[in-house]
A = this chain, B = another copy of it.
Amino acid sequence: MSAVPARVVAMPLRTVNGSQPYLRAVTRRAAACSTCKSMAFCLACGGATDPAAVDALVTQRVRLHKGESLVRSGDTFTGLFAVRSGSCKSVVTTPGGQEQIAGYHIAGDILGAEAIYTHAHDCTVTALEDSEFCVLPFERMEALARHSAEFQHKFNALLSREIGRERRVMLMLGTMRAEQRLAAFLLDLADRYHARGYSSSEFVLRMTREEIGSHLGLKLETVSRLFSRFHQEGLIQVQGRDVKLLDRVALTQLVDATLQ
């Protein structure tokens, strides 16, 4: 499943990235935050005092099929994106062509902040299942932030949260052993699903073993072996992509254990 550009369909089509019209836009009205299931935890509008102002922020909504890309590395930055439903991965590439999955995003997550500074996205965002995204033009965000101290603060917090998230991944990659990385990954995933009202112990992985490995700095065989081992040891129950956490305490201890 390599990243394929979404085919263009007839609709109120507005391209997000100027020249390449590989996104299907849906109607303006449909994008309203007020009708969004993810409203509560989406930092673009969560708890906003003035919903109308935030509604005006979202200029369009984009639907992507599994495998289609929202942005490509190198695309000119025009704004951020919010995951409205579904999930996606952010893939960064080394100069040498090595790929790594920098992040795995679900409903309510905001994408693209790394591009504010350089004015160019440095990762390719690809849908892991049929998904919807909201487009948040940056000038509008800046204008709203100037207007509303509350939104300004929220926007700063959003960027800060991203820094913290990446720092945790960095810490994982720099200090943890394979089993600790996978345990930490599963626990983090469970927490994030929980925050969105889903089960915190039972979920479906949207990524392949290879994609999980790419995110954790491991090879797919290692990931597969670890799933099998965790299953044997009674820590989790795995059947393909269906995962059920059976012993959170043991998983947490595993993550926290200092590699003697």
Question: Is A163 interfacial (CB 8 A cutoff)?
Answer: yes
Contact with B along A100-128 (1 / 0, CB 8 A): 10100000000001111110001100000
Q: How many copies does the complex hold?
A: 2
A144-164 interface bits toward B, Cβ cutoff 8 Å, 1 = contact, 0 = none: 011001001101111111111
Contacts of A142 in B (CB 8 A): 149, 152-153, 156
In contact, A169 and B170 (Cβ under 8 angstroms): yes
Query: How many angstroms between the C-alpha atoms of A22 and B168 in the bound complex?
Result: 27
Chain B residues within 8 Å of A102, by CB: 167, 170-171
Residue pair B171, A100 in contact (C-beta under 8 Å): yes
* Chain B residues near A122 (CB-CB < 8 A): 164, 167
A19 interface residue per 8 A CB criterion:
no
Smallest CB separation, A157 vs chain B (Å):
5
Asked if A157 meets B117 with Cβ closer than 8 Å, knowing A152-B142, A173-B217, the reply is yes
Known: A152-B145, A156-B142, A163-B166. A174 touches B118 (CB 8 A): no
Q: Which residue of B lies closest to A95 (CB)?
A: B256
Contacts A117-B161, A162-B163, A170-B166 known; A96 to B145 CB distance under 8 Å?
no
Chain B residues lying within 8 Å of A160, measured Cβ to Cβ, are: 113-118, 159
Give the number of chain A interface residues (Cβ < 8 Å): 51
Taken together as a complex, chains A and B put the C-alpha atoms of A215 and B159 apart, in Å, by 23
The residues of B that contact A117 with a CB separation of less than 8 Å are 157-158, 160-161, 163-164
Task: List residues 191-217 of chain A with CB under 8 A from any CB of chain B.
Answer: 214-217
Flag if A163 contacts B163 (CB, 8 Å). yes
Query: Is B166 a contact partner of A98 (Cβ separation < 8 A)?
Result: no
- For residue A257, CB closer than 8 A to chain B, the reply is yes
User: Which B-chain residue is minimally distant from A147 (CB atoms)?
Assistant: B146
A100 nearest CB neighbor, chain B only: B174
A18 at the interface (CB under 8 A from B): no
Residues of B within 8 A of A100 (CB): 170-171, 174-175
Let me know if A94 is at the binding interface, CB within 8 A.
yes
List the B residue with the shortest CB-CB distance to A164.
B114
Q: Kindly state the separation between the CA atoms of A168 and B170 in the bound complex, as whole angstroms.
A: 10
The answer to whether B149 and A159 have CB atoms under 8 Å apart is no
Q: How far is the CA of A220 from the CA of B255 in the complex (A)?
A: 23
